[in-house]
Structure 1
C-alpha cells in the first residue's frame, strides 16, 4: 500500500515540472504573465486569455444589445436578459482586473 502512496505523491508533485510553471509567474503579482497576443481593439494592455474572453464577450453583448434595441421583433423580456448578461460580464471583468477597460 505504501508503494501506491509514493507513486501517487510523484504524480501530485508533477515530476519536477513545478519550476517550469513558476518561471512564468510575475514576481510582483503572483499571476501568470501572458506570452501571447491577446488583444481587444481599443485596449492597449497585455491580456490573459480569461481577460480577453470577458472583454470580447462584453463587446459582443453590447453590440447585440444595440442591434436588438432597433429590432422590429423587440420584446422587453429579451432586453432584460441581455442587460443581465452585460451586467454579469462587466462584474466578471472587474473580478479579472480589467474593469476600467470594460467600462
Structure 2
C-alpha cells in the first residue's frame, strides 16, 4: 500500500476554503482506497504553517499513477495552483495489512 500525503500553504488565508473545494474533486477519482482533504487544525506546538492536507491510500503504484492521470486530478491542479504558495508531497510504502498508528 502507498500513502500519498500532500501539504499546501495558501497565498491568502481567505482562500483556504477555495483550495479545499478545488482539492475535494479528487475524492471522485476511483483509484484511491481512501482519500481525505482537510484543513490543518494548527495545534502543533512547533509549526503550523501548513493550511490544507490531502491524505490518500492506494493499493499500488499503478493505482496511484492512474489517480494522477485522471482528468479530475488535472482539474484540481488548475483550480488550486493559482491559490497556493507551497506544495509538499510524500509517497510512503507501507507493508500489506499495515494500520495507522
Question: Between Structure 1 and Structure 2, whose CA radius of gyration is higher?
Answer: 1
TM-score by length of structure 2 reads: 0.29
When you count helix as a share of all residues, which structure comes out higher?
A: 1
Structure with more relative contact order (C-alpha pairs < 8 Å, separation 6 or more) = 2
TM-score w.r.t. length of structure 1: 0.29
